[in-house]
Chain A
Amino acid sequence: MQRLRPLLPLVAIGGLASLPFAFAADTTRFWQGVFIQIFILAIYALSYDLLMGYTGMISFGHALFFGAGGYTAAILLRQAEPPSMLIVIAAVIVVGATIGAAVGALSLRVSGVYFSMITLALAEIAFILFKADDPKLKPITGGEIGLQGIVVPAAIDATTYRLRFYFLTLACMVGLYYAARRLINSPTGRVFVAIRENEPRATALGYNTLHFKLLATAISSTIAALAGMLMVLYEKSASFEMLSVNLTIQALLMTIIGGIGTLIGPMLGAATIRLLDHGLKGEFMQALLPAWLRPDLVFGIVYVVLVLFFPAGLMGAIRKLRGKTSRSSVERLRQAMKPKAES
């Protein structure tokens, strides 16, 4: 079992790559679509976990980053002569990083809940601005209607080439996951964790924590922006909903359900939420549950129970199943202490 562990990622990727061929022919397009959304949400959740789970900065305005990427792509692609995709991607990265760094810079002045609230305020302001029916803004933002009917380069059009788009998002997800993994295992990533654990101490060790927080928000924001861009490419529309508190809450939910600070957990969380949503509201569950037991209520209760009894989320539960708790740190400590106490 232990020997097979390094193979696990390969198996997972292989599984996801062959998934589209596993569905019945008449519904495969639909399921491909669902998984495309899952992959995009997974990228988004991943970005949130980098910030909350690893750097310990709880942003209530994460949708701002997602929406920034989405709108950047949408606005560029709606030009009369849309720039090449590479330029769009570059623009999304630049915008994402800039906004992220700007938000990170706020942490110079506020921290803790205050940071959360000010990010909430910023996202909310963006939400209101993009939704506003203002003659100056509307031509750019589309107002309430958003930017519909975006023309995506034919080669990656999800309508015509759904499968191709599936692999594209899968590749993006896997790529960004490994990039994130790399980051948190890098010297920089370790400092992120140090900041989460004890920021004053990290400063005292000689780290300029502001730089790291800037970097963390910029990277997280960039990844979220890329997710937003993918969403726009898939949906061919950008709307102010992308900037809403709901979307931030989604990120939070996916992260918690999956397991904070595990990267893979929030991605699983994204899949869980999307599939649960489909399942709970699908015909099957509706036939099973009494009519008064609304899917939302079931979801709420399941979620509360999860937070209460499985605080480490799905990943925690999985680890528990694999019997990892017996090797918990305290046990390791006690074992380590034993010979010393006798000597």
Chain B
Amino acid sequence: MVAPASWPKLITGILLPGLTLAAIYFMISAGLSLIFGLMDVLNFAHGSLFMLGGYCAWTCNVWLDPNYAGHWPITIASGNLRFIIGLIVGTLVGAAVGSLIEISLIRPLYKRPIYQVLLTLGLVFVFDALVRTIPAWGSLSRAPIKPPMLTESLSLLGRRFPSYSLFLICLSVSLAVLIALVLRRSRIGLTIRAGVQDSAMVEAMGINVRRVFTGVFGFGSGLAALGGAVAASFIGVYPEMGLEYQLFAFIVVVIGGLGSYSGAAAGALLIGLARTFSDHLVLETGLPTAIASASTVLVMAVVLLLKPGGIFNKN
């Protein structure tokens, strides 16, 4: 079907870019999977937190730059340092805002799951408008700013591969492993799963369910924001990015199977590779390019029809 392509090309043209996409998808999906799967909260605003992380990181990169024309008392000469500060600030802001959202808005709605969807959907509008309202951000799209240490490209099998993409992939994989270890070794997962079904009963067992929920929500949000902060140097920032990546995150989580953490990883991998593979397919066969755009949802539809509960569904 696909014109025979040499192995190096398949690796540099499909595998690596596919992994790069998967890395971004995973970072936004991991938190959603935790929140959505464990707490049963369908957080539509998860993408907004991704966006928030992105904007915060971008702002750090720009404002702390000594060349920045605006007025800002602190400047940092090293672009690498600005980048790292951006990641930290983005993550922290995301986690804080996420926790706040949980405490103030989600908490009253644990008994009305549909309303969580509706409320967080409203938050998407609020965040979208907020980003456009903040003068420093606005409606326009902002170009990605990469740290100097990651602007070089590496030579790989006769092609050049951006080192930032490699960074994305490595970061994502290490995060995946780290979180998996934390989850496996803690009682938190258990508490949350039980708390979702009957939080009153879990409280009656002496566990502060609310705090656990807030913690998980904040953690998931922080992850999304970190994803956004890292992605910002690759895709730039723009107000629509929240909803755009939110959709990917939903798809990933659903493909993987609700609440399955490894499912999220598998889902991200699947749709990342599906996208670059169909990009390749379209180029080689002259099929309509719409197929590449549709690949993500197509894969989801096929997976759900074959395995109605997602790949890693327990039942």
Binding site for B on A (CB under 8 A): 58, 106, 109-111, 113-114, 117-118, 120-122, 124-125, 128-129, 131-134, 136-137, 245, 249, 252-253, 256, 260, 292-294, 296-297, 299-301, 303-304, 307-308, 311
Contacts and interface: CB of A to CB of B under 8 A. Distances in A.
5 contacts: A117-B251, A121-B300, A121-B304, A296-B129, A299-B125
Contacts, number: 104
Secondary structure of the B contact surface, majority rule = helix
A129 B304 contact: no
Nearest to A137: B288
A121 B298 contact: yes
B309 A114 contact: yes
Contacts of A300: 122-126, 128-129
A160 B32 CA distance: 52
A311 B115 contact: yes
Given A114-B304, A297-B130, A311-B115, A303 B125 contact: yes
A125 B305 contact: no
A111 to B, nearest CB: 8
Interface of B: 42, 105, 108-109, 112, 114-115, 118-119, 121-126, 128-130, 132-133, 247, 250-251, 254, 258, 288-290, 293-294, 297-298, 300-301, 304-305, 308-310
A253 B121 CA distance: 9
B119 A304 contact: yes
Given A109-B305, A113-B254, A256 B290 contact: no
Contacts of A117: 250-251, 254, 300, 304
Contact of B288 (A109, A114, A132, A311): A132
Given A114-B309, A134-B290, A252 B118 contact: yes
Contact of A118 (B128, B258, B288, B300): B300
A134 B288 contact: yes
A292 B134 CA distance: 8
Contacts of B112: 311
A86 B7 CA distance: 59
Nearest to B250: A117
Contacts of A111: 308
A301 B129 CA distance: 10
Given A296-B125, A308-B105, A122 B301 contact: yes
A118 B125 contact: no
A99 to B, nearest CB: 15
A137 to B, nearest CB: 8
A253 B108 CA distance: 20
A252 B124 CA distance: 14
A118 B305 contact: yes
Contacts of B126: 297, 300-301, 304
Nearest to A255: B118
Contacts of B251: 117, 121
Given A114-B254, A114-B309, A304-B119, A125 B298 contact: yes
B289 to A, nearest CB: 8
A88 B290 CA distance: 29
A128 B108 CA distance: 38
Nearest to A295: B129
A149 to B, nearest CB: 24
Nearest to B300: A121
A256 B120 CA distance: 13
A294 B293 contact: no
Contacts of A132: 288-290
Which residue of B128, B133, B293, B297 has the most chain A CB atoms within 10 A of its CB atom?
B297
A51 to B, nearest CB: 13
B288 to A, nearest CB: 4
Nearest to A256: B118
Contacts of B132: 294, 296
A297 B129 contact: yes
Nearest to B134: A292
A307 B305 contact: no
A121 B254 CA distance: 11
Contacts of B301: 118, 121-122, 125
A109 B128 CA distance: 35
Nearest to B304: A118
A308 B119 contact: yes
Contact of A125 (B105, B294, B304, B308): B294
Which residue of A125, A129, A307 has the most chain B CB atoms within 10 A of its CB atom?
A307
B196 to A, nearest CB: 14
A140 B119 CA distance: 39
Contacts of B133: 292-294, 297
A166 to B, nearest CB: 31
B293 A296 contact: no
Given A109-B305, A114-B254, A307 B290 contact: no
A228 B122 CA distance: 25
Contacts of B294: 124-125, 128-129
Contacts of B109: 308
A35 B94 CA distance: 42
A25 to B, nearest CB: 37
A86 to B, nearest CB: 34
A136 B114 CA distance: 41
A58 B126 CA distance: 23
A311 B105 CA distance: 13
A20 B18 CA distance: 57
A121 B250 CA distance: 11
A321 B167 CA distance: 59
B257 to A, nearest CB: 10
Which residue of B122, B258, B294 has the most chain A CB atoms within 10 A of its CB atom?
B122
B122 A307 contact: yes
A291 to B, nearest CB: 10
A260 B126 CA distance: 22
Contacts of A311: 112, 115
Given A110-B308, A117-B304, 11 more contacts: A117-B251, A124-B297, A125-B301, A131-B290, A132-B289, A256-B118, A294-B133, A296-B125, A296-B128, A297-B130, A304-B105
A104 B121 CA distance: 25
